[in-house]
Amino acid sequence: MMFWNGHGVSGWGWFAMSAGMILFWVLVITAAVLLFRALDRPRERPRAHEGPRTPEGSSAERLLAERFARGEIDEEEYRGRLAVLHSSGPSAGS
C-alpha cells in the first residue's frame, strides 16, 4: 500500500493529473487536425489578367480567346468579335 499514499497525492491530485492529461491530448489532437486542414486547403491564385468586368463578359472573352488559341477563328474575326463584346456592355442582353 505504499504506492497509493506514499507520494502525498490525494484523490483530487489523481483527478487533476488525469484531467490534465486528457486536456493535453485533446489540445495536441486538435492542433494536429487544424494544421492538417490548413495545409490541405487548395490555394487560390488571384487572376491578374481579368479586369473589373461582369462575369458574363469575362467568360465570353475567355471563350473567344480559347477559340482563337485553338485556331478556330483568325485574328481579324477575334478582334471583330472582341470589339462587339466590348461595345455591347452589360446591359445589351436586357
Cα 4 from Cα 10, distance rounded (Å): 9
State the virtual CA torsion across 44, 47, 51, 56 in degrees, nearest 10.
Answer: -70
Segment 55-72 mean pLDDT: 82
DSSP state of 9: -
What pLDDT shows up at residue 30? 97
Q: How many helices (H) and strands (E) does the chain have?
A: 4, 0
Helix (H, G, I), strand (E, B) or coil at 90: coil
pLDDT of residue 65 exceeding 70: yes
Three cell numbers, residue 89: 456592355
Q: Give the predicted TM-score (pTM) of the model.
A: 0.39
CA distances from 13 to 2, 62, 84 (A): 16, 68, 80
What pLDDT shows up at residue 1? 47
pLDDT one-digit tens code per residue, 10-62: 778 888 999 999 999 999 999 999 999 988 877 766 555 555 444 455 688 89
DSSP state of 21: H
What pLDDT shows up at residue 90? 60
What pLDDT shows up at residue 45? 61
Residue type, 78: Y
User: In the chain, what's the furthest Cα-to-Cα distance?
Assistant: 97
What pLDDT shows up at residue 11? 78
Q: Which residue has the higher pLDDT, 6 or 43?
A: 43
pLDDT of residue 92 exceeding 70: no
